Each structure stands twice: as structure tokens, then as C-alpha cells.
Amino acid sequence: MRVVNEFTKGLWREIPPFRLVLGLCPVLAVTTAAKNGMAMGLATTFVLVCSNVLVSLLRNVIPRKVRIAAFIVVIASFVVIVELMMQAYYYPMYKILGLFIPLIVVNCLILGRAEAFASKNPLLPSLADGLGMGIGFTLSLTFLGAVREIVGNGTLFGMSVMWSSYEPFSVMVKAPGAFLCLGVILGLMNWVSTLQRRRG
Amino acid sequence: MVIVLALICGCSGLVLSFTNQVTLEQRENQLLTYVQGPSIQSVLSGREFDNDPIQDRFTVALGEDDQGDPVELTVFPAKKGGETVAMAYASSGVGYGGEIDVMVGFDLEGDLTGLSIMTHAETPGLGARIEEPSFTEQFRGLEVRKGVQLSQDGGEIDGVSGASLSSKGVVSAINKAADVFPKVKEEVS
């Protein structure tokens, strides 16, 4: 039961970019299209799950004083693995995401989960936590990318979805669009939560 | 404390060098397909062929450089029915802003089948116009055995106006490529 709970909290109650407001650098930078957001989310999920598992397994071995250094080494290793894999099997996406793949190392979501959760909990809950948070992160990035792509470019996953005379707001796929979009989503989520609380 | 950290770092290094080894070949392939691939296709596009030039690539030894290290050239052959009809390989020349890397295609007679500029650091709007078809298309079908020259030096190529150094860089890259053509052709036939 607890494991299920740890998994689902990442999907809504603590959905990373919108609730914890963690790991915003890739959230803002790569969500110019749904596909990019999804790829970034999946790469982050892989690193998050692997690092959570390993940190949880090593939690009694790693001395407290050097725990952050140890976490970073673990995370960085998985990031390099993702980077090499992406270069080898999905080169076009590697070119799009470019610098933001190595930057997963400093994504505070991953270090945050390692420090706040995996280093204090056994294997199974840590795995569930990583998976839930990762999927939540992926969904958020895909959603944000989809909204920006539809409004800013008139397409979704590269396919045209708007009527033919639709004039795209190209500001949405540029940097300010990321802030606008994120702000609106945060506002909507807070509004929904307030409504729920009033009813409850 | 130090031992644990050192152990973790050691394991990480081990895993990473292993991953690096495993993916090395595949990563090279991807680079060839996505970075050089379009250039290779474009310089060979004038000829009909039915193979994958990247898959069939081979290297030719060109002797040694000043330091005594062997110099190798990767050649991408275009074949039709198993017979080589043309080949592409990279060359470079020095322009105004630095090295200009080009891909050149030759048919069996040593005439150019095409030229494609891969990377350069020329001035945008001036030297960078060497990328434009109006410049590169002049080279298609050109006989280069005796060397190529710009029209200002009495040759047959009109350089990009206001960018003679960039144009010269490309021409020197072609002449370099033409110099090694006999050696490459030996390997092909």
C-alpha cells in the first residue's frame, strides 16, 4: 500500500515541476515541442529511477559527510550512460537536446529525491518514488511541450492539428512562452486545488 | 569515508568506460549518417547508384605526415550492380575564418560529381556564401586533374564576391582532394 502511495504522489500531489517546482531548467528550456519534452522526460526518468535504486541500496554504506558527493557521482554516471546511448541510437534527438542532457546531472529534482527520499528509504519505496516522480516529470514536460507546440506552431508531435488559416503565436515556442505557459498551468493547478479543498 | 567515495568513483569509471566501448561503433555510424550523410548523398546525387556509401566505406593509407603518423582517408564509394561508379571523400582548405571542411565526389575519370561544404567558420553573409548552390554548383562535372583555379587567377570558377580568401580555401580543398585521387582510384579498381 505504501509503495503504491509513493508511486502516485509523483503524478499529482507532488508532481515535480508544478508542485515541487523542482528541475525547472529543462522544463523551461526544452519544451518547445511535445516530442522534445517527452524525450527529455524519459531521459530524466531513467536517471532518476536508477539513481534512486542505487542510492537506496548504498544508503547504509555511504558516510553522511560525503553523501552529496557520492550521490552526484552516481547521478553523473547514469547521465553519461544516457548521453552515450542517445548518441548511439537517437542522434537527431541528441542534437536537439544537446547541452541539456549533460545538465541532467544538476537537475535538482534528481539530487532532491536522492537526498530527501532514497537515502532514507528501502529499495522498493525508492523505486516507486523514482518511477512516479519520473513519470510525473515526463507527463508535465510532454504536456507543456504540447501546449507550446499547438499554440506556437499549430502542430502536435509534428502533425498539423489546427485549422489551415491558423496563425501561430510564435512567442510561445520562444523563451518567454515557456514562462507564460508554466505560470498559467501553475495558476490553474492552484485554482483546481482550492476548489477541491473548499468542497472537501 | 575516502575509501567508500573512491570505490564509488572507481565503479563509475569502470561502468562508463564499458558503455563507451559498447556504443563506440554505433555512435560513429550515427555521426556518419547524420553529419556526413547528407553531404555524401548530395555530392553523389548526379550518379545513379544502389548501395549505401556509408556502409561500404573503406580507408586508404596516404603515407605519413610530418610527425611520422600514418594519414588515412575514409572513402565512400557509390556502386551500381557491385561496380564502383563514383566516390566521395572529405577534404579541407584554409579560408578566412579557419578550416573549411568539404565533401567532394569524383567519378572514375577524376571529374567532380559534386561539392558540399560541411563545416566552416567564414563570415556570415560574405564568406559563408560559399555554401550557396550558385557557388558550389560550378564544380559539378568539372575536370580537375590539372587543378582548379578562380577566374581572377585565370581559372574557371567564379569566386564569391568580396570573399576571395573563402573561395580560395574551397578551391585549395578541391585541389588537395584531386591530388590524392590517383591513390584512391588504385584502391577502388
Asked if B23 and A70 come within 8 Å (Cβ–Cβ), the reply is no
Instruction: Kindly list the residues from chain A whose CB atom is less than 8 angstroms away from the CB atom of residue B14.
Output: none
Instruction: Report the distance separating Cα A116 and Cα A111, nearest Å.
Output: 8
| Residue B141: band (very low, low, confident or very high) from pLDDT cuts 50, 70, 90 | confident
Answer with the residue of higher pLDDT: B36 or B7.
B7
Asked if B23 and A74 come within 8 Å (Cβ–Cβ), the reply is no
Q: For the whole prediction, is pTM greater than 0.80? A: no
pLDDT the model gives residue A169: 84
Instruction: Report the distance separating Cα A56 and Cα A124, nearest Å.
Output: 9
Cell digits of residue A157: 508531435
Percent residues over pLDDT 90 in chain B: 14
Give yes or no for residue B67 having a pLDDT over 80: no
* Chain B contact residues (CB < 8 Å to A): 1, 4-5, 8-9, 12, 15-16, 19-20, 23, 26-27, 30-31, 33-34
Asked if residue B86 lies in contact with residue B107, where contact means CB atoms within 8 angstroms, the answer is: yes
pLDDT the model gives residue B142: 81
pLDDT the model gives residue B20: 92
| Residue B48: band (very low, low, confident or very high) from pLDDT cuts 50, 70, 90 | confident
Q: Which range (A43-47, B56-60, B68-72) has the least confidence?
A: B68-72
pLDDT the model gives residue B189: 65
Q: What is the mean pLDDT of each run of 10 residues along chain A (200 residues)?
A: 83 81 84 91 94 93 90 94 91 86 88 91 93 93 92 86 82 88 90 87
Instruction: Kindly list the residues from chain A whose CB atom is less than 8 angstroms away from the CB atom of residue B27.
Output: 84, 87-88
pLDDT the model gives residue A184: 92
Asked if B15 and A81 come within 8 Å (Cβ–Cβ), the reply is yes
Cell digits of residue A195: 476548489
Q: Which of B25, B30, B31, B33 to mutate to test the interface with A (most CBs of A within 10 A)?
A: B30
Q: Which residues contact A193 (CB under 8 A, 6 or more apart)?
A: none
What DSSP assignment string belongs to A135-146? HHHHHHHHHHHH
- The single residue listed with the C-alpha cell 516522480 is A133
pLDDT the model gives residue B72: 81
pLDDT the model gives residue A81: 93
Cell digits of residue B89: 571523400
Instruction: Report the distance separating Cα A136 and Cα A119, nearest Å.
Output: 21
Give yes or no for residue B52 having a pLDDT over 90: no
Q: What is the mean pLDDT of chain A?
A: 89
Average pLDDT over residues B35-47: 82
Q: Where do the H-state alpha helices sit in chain B?
A: 2-31, 37-44, 133-136, 164-188
* pLDDT digit string, tens, across residues A35-62: 999 999 999 999 999 999 999 999 998 9
Asked if B19 and A85 come within 8 Å (Cβ–Cβ), the reply is yes
List the single residue in B with minimal CA-CA distance to A55.
B8
B1, B5, B30 member nearest A91 (Cβ): B30
Instruction: Report the distance separating Cα B167 and Cα B53, nearest Å.
Output: 28
Region label for B122, one of left (φ > 0), alpha (ψ between -120 and 50) or beta (otherwise) = beta
Asked if residue B14 lies in contact with residue A73, where contact means CB atoms within 8 angstroms, the answer is: no
pLDDT the model gives residue B182: 85
Cα three-residue angle B27-B25-A47, rounded to 5 degrees: 50
Average pLDDT over residues B167-182: 89
pLDDT the model gives residue A1: 67
3-state SS class at B57: coil
